[in-house]
Amino acid sequence: MCGIAGIIGDFEIHQLDAMLLSQHHRGPDATGKYNDGDFASLGHNRLAIIDLSPQSNQPFLDPSGRYVLVFNGEIYNYIEIKAELDGHYTFKTDSDTEVLLAAFIIYGNQCLQKLNGMFSFAIWDNQDKKLFAARDRFGVKPFFYSFKNNSFYFSSEIKAIHAAGISRIPNEKVWASYFAYGSYGNPDETFWEDILQLPGGYFLSFTLPLDKLGTGLVGGVLRQAQSDIVRQAQSDIVRQVQSDLTIEKWYFFEEEVAKQPKNLTFEQAKEHYVTLLKDSIDLRFRADVPVGFNISGGLDSSVLLALVNNNNNNSSINAYTFYSDNLAYDELPWVEMMVAKTKNTLSKVLLRADKVPDFAKKMEAQQDEPYGGIPTLAYAKIFEQARKDEVLVLLDGQGMDEQWAGYDYYTQENDATIQGMTDSPFKKNMLSPAFLEKAEKPIYPKPFSDVILNKQYRDLFYTKIPRALRFNDRISMLFSTELREPFLDYRLVEFAFSLPLEFKIRNGQTKFMLREIAAEYLANDLVFAPKRPLQTPQREWLAEDLSKWVNECFTTIEKSKYGGWFDKDALQKELQVYFEEDRQSSFHIWQCISLYEMIQNINEK
């Protein structure tokens, strides 16, 4: 798990230095640079997880010196791929980094189909002056880029591109859509002008346009072209973005779902899924540093806890959970019930209300974009503690609800994307008419004939999973730790997604097959515990304990140059209604806090 950065085209070396410094937290163990004359400069911040030796530091060159790799993530099945490459490549390290580079040299872009992992990487061919970059299937690891000032910039974090000199200008369309519809942008968008992201399951190829530098028009052409590609995500056609760069989809989820075994009985499907699940967990224990895992009182992480110990005899491995000291929200009783059986060491990390303002400021500076509120802060405390304990890899239970139709809104006739909500949490009336006009209601593809499958697809590729992965990548990296999500192994997701609805929902009970699997390891009060959508007292804290700070946030927004985004009377009215009457949702309050933190960060820089 690391940070990557690079500039292709016109650049000054101090720009790459600034990029690497800005994301040093992603890889404090080693920092490396590679320069190909005036053509390209690549950099890497390393967090050493597999093969801790300096020989595996990056940028990593193949024996010929032609290919240069910077890589963020882990290839979990690197041992199997390495065995397949035996006789085709002579290895000098035990790292998954070298396996990835060798696989690319031997197989070209088809190597992506062989990878089971989370990854974002770039390979520079210094002979043909060509860059190849790719992102994993679900976009676990980030890849941001910008085409500006006659150069192509890429990095693992937005702040690194800003550090290179790209101006911090908010993308008002994305911000307006966030306030009006709760959207965090399309898969190619960010909250910042001139900065895009490569969607999960895509790769790009860029050949240095030696005779075309200085056109000044490439950025706008690139932005529109990629947007067109993403909006036609079902197409396998390669689009020529401009004469020197192409973006291509390499992971076709719908096709992979169609290839899954058909007509299995319930027991056959359950047996197959358990086999895949155990293998996924085993693969994610491959590390040369200590591994722990996160646990809540929910079904998913409880299954993870049970299988970690059953499959690996790992009762000595640390378990982590957070709490807020509020019995109405804390899941400690369920967590302690589980851990009492497995005998894992449990680290309980506390987030108090009075720590939120300072921590929120630190988190916004790390996230670069709006994030998931106080639950994200509480979750971040886990990684802070794990780093202190020198546990550098943590496993998490993310991804089960999306593959097993676990949210209540899957069976409701609406377009809701938030568990447990009956009324819309979005307050369009707070926005000025001019700003609201910039908002675009998100429209998601519906590639399946089944309504519930389309909702699951939306959550996997456009809403729930992309947001959670972004939040979680940044909070784990803030504390120089690695997060692995075994339930997002593509084999599990594809297989579970393909199963009949009656295997997922039965007699009103969601995640039915998963509960049947869990019953073999867990007590019934855990297997059939209702899903709890709220994990922290965010609503109460913002209205009571933190009301002074919330007022300050709103006042600062009104006085800032972004005050024009709002109808100020409506903004104040919504705040007072929240304080005095209606606290069903605090999402609109947190949206304003996110904007406040962005304003503070821009002003400080």
Q: Which residues contact residue 388 at a Cβ distance below 8 angstroms, ignoring those fewer than 6 apart?
A: none
Task: Please say whether the beta carbons of 466 and 184 come within 8 A.
Answer: yes
Strand (E) or helix (H) holding 36:
strand 30-36
Distance CA 595, CA 605 (A): 16
Task: Please say whether the beta carbons of 16 and 41 come within 8 A.
Answer: yes
Q: Which residues are annotated as a binding site for L-glutamine?
A: 96
Give me the sheet containing 60-61, strands edge to edge.
60-61, 67-75, 117-125, 130-135, 202-207, 245-249, 239-242
Whole-angstrom CA distances from 400 to 323, 498, 511, 546 are 22, 14, 8, 33
> What tokens does 192 get?
């910042």
Task: Please say whether the beta carbons of 129 and 210 come within 8 A.
Answer: yes
SS in 3 state form for 182-213?
A: CCCCCCCCCCECCCEECCCCEEEEEECCCCCC
Active site residue 2: yes
Strand partners, 45: 3, 31
**Sign (positive or negative) of CA dihedral 401, 403, 408, 409:** positive
Q: Of the listed 2, 111, 553, 592, which one is catalytic? A: 2
Q: Whose structure tokens read 């002579």?
A: 90
Distance CA 603, CA 597 (A): 10
SS in 3 state form for 406-452?
A: CCHHHHCCCCCCCCCCCCCCCCHHHECHHHHCCCCCCCCCCCCCCHH
Distance CA 6, CA 124 (A): 10
Which among 114, 115, 101, 112 has a CA at the least distance from the CA of 34?
101
Which among 534, 573, 484, 514 has a CA at the least distance from the CA of 75?
484
Active site residues: 2
